[in-house]
Structure 1
Amino acid sequence: MISIEHLTMKYLLIVAAALTLAACSGKTTEEPDADPLAAQAAPTADQITVTAEQRTAIGIQTGPAQISTVNDEIKANGVVDVPPQYMASVSVPIAGIVKTVPVLAGQQVPKGGTLATLQSLDYIQMQQDYLQAVSQLTFQQQELERQRTLNAEDVGARKRLQQAEAEFGSTRALVRSLDLKLRTLGTAMTALQQGQLSPVIRITSPVSGYVTTTNVHIGQQVSPTDILFDVINRDHMHLELKVYENDAFKVRKGQTILLNDAKLGAETVRGTVFLVGKAFQGEAHTITIHGHVSDERQEQRLIPGMYLNARILTGSRQATTLPEEAVVRKGQEGVIYVEVSPNTFKRIPVRIGSAEQGRVEITPLRPADLSKTVLKGAYPLEAELTKGEGEEE
């Protein structure tokens, strides 16, 4: 028979062994988990629950979505341009050799300012022909008057009078033609009529502005078909934008254009639609939009030829909006989170619309109560909920 003392001793040994195991296990120190969501219960497909401590660590803030006024807009791209009357390609209507080039690309020049000078034997010959024709015209005019006097007295022959009239008319036409040609070349006609021939032609700028290109150097032989300089006046720059066919019908004169380009700095450049093209162009079927920048100070930040990305505001409406950080973007769609019970958040897919001033338009793809939407902390919730979805097994 087993005694009571024996049973008592056996029980004490069992208790001692249990205490020893507990003590050994208590010596192991658990390392802290860096992820504030690591201790949560396993999330469902579209719902996740966190503890109060985890919520504080993530910084989750909730609040209602707002009804805001948003602008409907279409995207356009294009370039900065100037009207044709404010840009010029300069050539010279006579062959010659470049003698001087006093300007450089980027230099400002006034209208009529000298861009280069040209030596031309043809020019010298033209001046000589003009002076000879003027001299001949004077003689022929005197002869014509003499023949008219003789004819009136029935002394001269009628044929001689007619010949004098023909020669005078022909020489007068030559003088007028040479006079126009020389004036076109910028000749000082008063000095020439006094017998002062010039050996060089001044090539001048037809507009005030900036020299954008120079295609000549000293000693170069040039012809009338050569473009020697390009000059642009930047006082009247405008926007030439292209809009695709699907959006063309939305654009109207007077609508606002916004330029948010990194090249232009942080400030938004604003403009206005001035003209809307009446025909589609090219294989892409785009229409040309002509816009003016509203502020002259902002206009001076533009450079002709600069490529631009623009938005044209075509109207406004009321829509549901959230702060941009509340929407986890996935292309044109995304997800938001709403609190359905204390510390439990549900994932709601949404369609993303216009974004402006830090807020983004959203349209839930299924019914949802947006009175307690996660305004801050949506991205950590999304990361935890989707953790492991992209991992290969």
Structure 2
Amino acid sequence: MKRYLYQIATISLFGLLILGSSCGSKTETKAKEQTSADSPPSVSGVKPENLVKLTTKEMAELKIQTIEVGGSALNYSIAVPGVVFPAPNHVSIISTPIDGRISRISAQEGQVVRQGQEIFSIESLEFGNMVSEYLQAVSEETFQTSRLQRLEQLVEQTISSKSELDRAQSDFQRAKTTVIAAVSKLKAIGVPEKEINAFKTAESIDPTLKIHSPINGIMDQRSVELGQSVNALQMLARVLDISHVLVRGYVSPEDARFISAGDSVKILRR
């Protein structure tokens, strides 16, 4: 009895394997037929079963014409929305380097400004002290220069000692270094060389710091008003150089596949 059951089970398993193999073959055949139907023989590589070959005479009688297929580039235009932004390195934020009060506004929003043009004036006690330190350093340098020259003459005439001359040279170098430091402080807050030299001939100390535009452009924003107190590093305005701009276009994923580097772009303003 057990032997019959084992034979029946073996026959059933063998039948299932044959059925599975047959189904797999049918599936592969259908896939091949589907592929052949979707693609021409030149692309799919599958030779058709019922291939009919015609001679030149038969093609002429049936008036069958063949055309060679080739590829060519076509112009394709895509219209997308875009936004204009300031170009990198063509925008400048104007800020105050020291504490003070806005005493004059020389440019308004939308006005064209030139590089080096005065756009704000700030009254600042801190700036006045810096100018005073510079003038004191210049005065000390002048005195030490005159003293050094006098001692050099006296040493040549053996009237003064060499040690006094060495001390005078040291004092002169110290005064010169003080002037360099004072000039560096003024330049660090944006005072040009021309204005620094003008301090030497001024009859009085003017504690007004002039803020200049670092680039050519248009004043896009102004954040302060006349008479307003400002702190160091506070933003005063923004200047844009619109000779160069950055345009960002927003392309859909479907159209992005048609765009390549180097394609020409035409920008229109609505």
TM-score (norm 1): 0.43
Q: CA deviation at 1:137?
A: 0.9
The size of the alignment, in residue pairs, is: 195
Residue in structure 2 matching 1:139, options 123, 143, 146: 143
Deviation readout 1:16-59 (Å, 9 max, x if unpaired): xxxxxxxxxxxxxxxxxxxxxxxxxxxxxxxxxxxxxxxxxxxx
SS in 1 for 2:109: coil
Change (3 A) 1:240 1:147: farther
In 2, Cα distance between equivalents of 1:209 and 1:249:
36
Bigger mean CA deviation after superposition, 244-253 or 191-200: 244-253
Q: What stretches of structure 2 of length at least 5 have no aligned partner?
A: 1-71
Give the corresponding residue for 1:110: 114
Amino acid at match of 1:207: I
Change (3 A) 1:167 1:251: farther
In 2, Cα distance between equivalents of 1:166 and 1:222:
41
| More helix per residue | 2
Give the corresponding residue for 2:32: none
Give the corresponding residue for 2:84: 80
Residue in structure 2 matching 1:205, options 213, 216, 222: 213
In 2, Cα distance between equivalents of 1:163 and 1:249:
79
What is the correspondence of 1:293-332 to structure 2 with a 5 Å cutoff? Answer: none
In 2, Cα distance between equivalents of 1:243 and 1:89:
31
SS in 1 for 2:235: coil
Q: CA deviation at 1:239?
A: 2.2
What is the correspondence of 1:166-185 to structure 2 with a 5 Å cutoff? Answer: 166-182=170-186, 184-185=190-191
Give the corresponding residue for 1:126: 130
In 1, Cα distance between equivalents of 2:257 and 2:139:
66
Identical positions, percent: 26
| More strand per residue | 1
In 2, Cα distance between equivalents of 1:248 and 1:171:
69
Residue in structure 1 matching 2:260, options 251, 255, 265: 251
In 1, Cα distance between equivalents of 2:245 and 2:84:
7
What is the correspondence of 1:283-362 to structure 2 with a 5 Å cutoff? Answer: none
What is the correspondence of 1:214-229 to structure 2 with a 5 Å cutoff? Answer: 214-229=222-237
SS in 1 for 2:93: strand
Q: CA deviation at 1:258?
A: 4.0
The reply on whether 1:194 has 2:198 as its aligned counterpart is no
SS in 1 for 2:153: helix
What is the correspondence of 1:138-157 to structure 2 with a 5 Å cutoff? Answer: 138-157=142-161
Deviation readout 1:274-333 (Å, 9 max, x if unpaired): xxxxxxxxxxxxxxxxxxxxxxxxxxxxxxxxxxxxxxxxxxxxxxxxxxxxxxxxxxxx
SS in 1 for 2:75: strand
Amino acid at match of 1:205: S
In 2, Cα distance between equivalents of 1:114 and 1:84:
24
Change (3 A) 1:162 1:76: farther
Higher relative contact order (CA 8 A, sep 6+): 2
Q: CA deviation at 1:180?
A: 4.3
What is the correspondence of 1:233-252 to structure 2 with a 5 Å cutoff? Answer: 233-241=241-249, 251-252=260-261
Change (3 A) 1:87 1:123: same
Change (3 A) 1:131 1:259: closer
Deviation readout 1:111-169 (Å, 9 max, x if unpaired): 23332210011121222222221111111112212332333444433332222112111
On the 8 A contact 1:95/1:224 being kept in 2, the answer is yes
In 2, Cα distance between equivalents of 1:161 and 1:259:
73
In 2, Cα distance between equivalents of 1:248 and 1:167:
74
Give the corresponding residue for 1:384: none
On the 8 A contact 2:98/2:233 being kept in 1, the answer is no
Q: CA deviation at 1:207?
A: 1.8
Bigger mean CA deviation after superposition, 131-140 or 86-95: 86-95
RMSD between aligned residues: 3.4
Deviation readout 1:84-121 (Å, 9 max, x if unpaired): 34221112322211112243322222323332210011
Deviation readout 1:163-188 (Å, 9 max, x if unpaired): 21121112112223323444532462
Q: What stretches of structure 1 of length at least 5 have no aligned partner?
A: 1-67, 266-393
TM-score (norm 2): 0.60
Change (3 A) 1:257 1:193: same
Q: CA deviation at 1:75?
A: 8.0
